A = this chain, B = another copy of it.
């Protein structure tokens, strides 16, 4: 399948399709048209068809898409048919929450170990995974064939750890530190900047208030 020139905007919409299709599948819906999906997801049917056409269209017939097939195919495009081994760096509250809270295992994401600078945490378990000292990172990455590293440490430390990770065979960093990371092109970085998200929210509140004030004038 040719999926080379897909923009990140389209890519960003795929997980949402996957989420809705998973729910529909669980509810026993066998087929769904782009019109029905459009109503459910509040996007236009033409947007849906355009997005799907990037991946060959998934064979919509007159009576719609096969829900299970579409769910599975989008899962494959998202790489969810491969298992991913993960480690957590920073066994604090956020890190522990990520390991415990989300249902990664269902989708092939396996946390193998955590690492922390705090000697009191080393040797303990968080949410069922062992916590190691930072200097064991490279060994564990090799031994456990880790491909995704989850960074939940302050930004100064994150910059240093990223330099260490750059020399390992990992394939991606899921970065929760409040900074951008400089790593080789072979390592994909997905940033979750929570404070950026909160600021965007604050911006939208302000814009909405301003709009309301102008209407009143």
Binding site for B on A (CB under 8 A): 3-4, 8, 11-12, 14-16, 18-19, 41-42, 77-80, 82, 84, 92-94, 96-98, 100-104, 107, 109, 147-148, 171-172, 174, 178-180, 186, 188, 190, 192-211
Contact = CB atoms under 8 A, between A and B. Distances in A.
When all copies of this chain in the complex are counted, the total is 2
Contacts of A211: 4
A161 to B, nearest CB: 17
A84 to B, nearest CB: 7
A97 B93 contact: yes
A92 B211 CA distance: 36
A194 to B, nearest CB: 6
Contacts of A102: 194-195, 198
Given A97-B96, A101-B93, A196-B16, A171 B208 contact: yes
B109 A100 contact: no
A96 B207 CA distance: 29
Contact of A202 (B8, B84, B210): B84
